[in-house]
Structures are given as C-alpha cells and as structure tokens.
C-alpha cells in the first residue's frame, strides 16, 4: 500500500473516531446529572463520569483537529476498555461489545500510527521545525 493511501486511511479513522466521541461526550454533557447517577448505579465512582465525559468530548475535538492524536486515542482506548469490562461484557458480543471493540481497534491503530494528514499537530510541528531551522541558520 502506498504511503499516500495509508495516510488518507488514518485520516478517515481519526476523524470518524473523533466525531463519534465528540457526539457521545456532548450527549453526556446534555444529560450530565443522569450520567453521574448512572455511573453510581453501576458501582462506579461518580467522579469517573467527569473524567469519561472530558476524555470523550476533548478527545473527540482533538482527534478531529489532529492535535495530540496519540494521547487522545489513548484516552479513548481506556474509556473503551472500561466500557467493555464494566458494562458491555455481560451483554455478550453481538448487541454488547462488538461496536466497542471496533472503536478500541481504531484507537489502538491511531496510537500506533498517528495521523498527520490535515492535522493541526503536523502543521504546528512543521512550523516549529522551520523556525528552529531559521534559528540554527543565524
């Protein structure tokens, strides 16, 4: 596979995962009181609702923009592992955790490979690299 197709593939995965998690985070914000109660009802600390909501919302935005891609994907990976093992596993694979496994796999792919196409992180690193070259040339 050519490098070009690889980068475009990672862009598609990054933006799709970002949109999904931004939507989930915003949904949690809209009904946050209920989310906090639900976390408590399944035996999780209520404070974890704040952490999960932040990771989903901010992580989703970062993935869409291509900022801190690997870090955002790592946060999402931990959210998915928590969801799978605390809620979805008991429901079985089909109708349970199969979608979560897909999201987890995308997050792991982004952790391993990153995504530089149309990425603000890549833009900032290019800017930083060019400014350090200018300083060195002086």
Is 135 part of a structural domain of the chain? no
Is 133 part of a structural domain of the chain? no
List, in sequence order, the alpha helices (H) in 44-97.
47-65, 69-83
Is 132 part of a structural domain of the chain? no
**Residue 90 CB partners (closer than 8 Å, separation 6+):** 96
Residue 63, domain extent: 3-126
Q: How many domains does the chain have?
A: 1
pLDDT at 126 (0 to 100):
66
Is 49 part of a structural domain of the chain? yes
Is 136 part of a structural domain of the chain? no
Dist CA 126 CA 114 (whole Å): 15
Structure tokens at 66: 């291509």
Task: Give the tens place of pLDDT for each residue, 7-55.
Answer: 999 999 999 999 999 999 999 999 999 999 999 999 999 999 999 999 9
Residue 129 has pLDDT above 80, yes or no: no
pLDDT at 101 (0 to 100):
97
HSE at residue 131, side-chain half, CA atoms within 13 A, is 6
Is 64 part of a structural domain of the chain? yes
Task: Give the tens place of pLDDT for each residue, 57-95.
Answer: 999 999 999 999 999 999 999 999 999 999 999 999 999
Q: pLDDT band at residue 130, thresholds of 50, 70 and 90?
A: low
Is 21 part of a structural domain of the chain? yes
pLDDT at 37 (0 to 100):
95
Angle between helices 69-83 and 47-65 (to 10 degrees): 140
Q: pLDDT band at residue 122, thresholds of 50, 70 and 90?
A: confident
Is 48 part of a structural domain of the chain? yes
């Amino acid at each position: 596979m050519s490098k070009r197709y690889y980068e475009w593939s990672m862009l598609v995965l990054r933006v799709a995962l970002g949109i999904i998690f931004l939507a989930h985070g915003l949904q949690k914000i809209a009904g946050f009181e209920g989310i906090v109660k639900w976390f408590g009802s399944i035996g999780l600390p209520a404070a974890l609702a704040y952490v999960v909501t932040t990771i989903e919302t901010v992580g989703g935005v970062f993935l869409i923009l291509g900022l801190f891609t690997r870090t955002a994907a790592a946060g999402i990976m931990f959210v998915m592992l928590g969801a799978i093992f605390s809620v979805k596993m008991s429901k079985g694979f089909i109708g349970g955790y199969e979608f979560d496994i897909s999201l987890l796999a995308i997050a792991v792919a982004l952790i391993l490979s990153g995504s530089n196409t149309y990425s603000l992180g890549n833009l900032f690193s290019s800017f930083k690299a060019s400014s350090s070259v200018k300083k060195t040339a002086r």
